[in-house]
Amino acid sequence: MSKVTSIVEELTIPILEDLNLELVDIEYVKEGKNWFLRLFIDKENGVDIEECGIVSERLSEQLDELDPIPHNYFLEVSSPGAERPLKKEADFLKAIDKNVNIKTYEPIDGEKVFEGRLISYNEGILIIEVKIKTRTMTVEIPFDKVAKARLAIIF
């Protein structure tokens, strides 16, 4: 995690706790000539635009006061969306019985991408039920082998 995202996380957590919201992710990226500081927030039944606005205003005041970013940037606060990223172990625990998309650093059973229902997460092992053509099987994926993970909408 970069220094900027660490500072922003420290500033953001008390704001979110006050509003009963959860920090899903922070991105600090350069796109073209512009820098973007993006916060993704959520709660049980999703966040609305008012909550995003309140967080943006409160965080913006603190960032202006502390001034940890030496150049111009755009601050964006939003919901992570229906296919929210799964990063922390707590995210995987909340995602049990939901559809997920997992990409691994190295192949497991010859595959690096798995999409299916997360059956369990226990002691660092994800168990996913995947369908391959007409067969349903389970795959065990060690947490430390997960490169990227998100909730998935399967049609």
Whichever domain contains 102, its CATH number is: 2.30.30.180
Write out the residue range of the structural domain in which residue 131 sits: 89-151
pTM of the predicted protein model: 0.77
pLDDT tens, position by position, 8-27: 999 999 999 999 999 999 99
Pairwise CA distance, residues 43 & 45, whole Å:
6
Q: Domain check: are 70 and 14 in the same one? A: yes
Distance from chain centroid for Cα 21:
14
Q: Domain check: are 69 and 136 in the same one? A: no
Q: Could you tell me whether strands 146-151 and 99-108 are parallel, antiparallel, or unpaired per DSSP bridges?
A: antiparallel
Give the residue ranges of the chain where pLDDT is below 70: 1
The count of other CB atoms within 10 Å of the CB of residue 151 is 19
The predicted pLDDT at position 2 comes to 79
Q: Hey, what are 78's tokens?
A: 């939003």
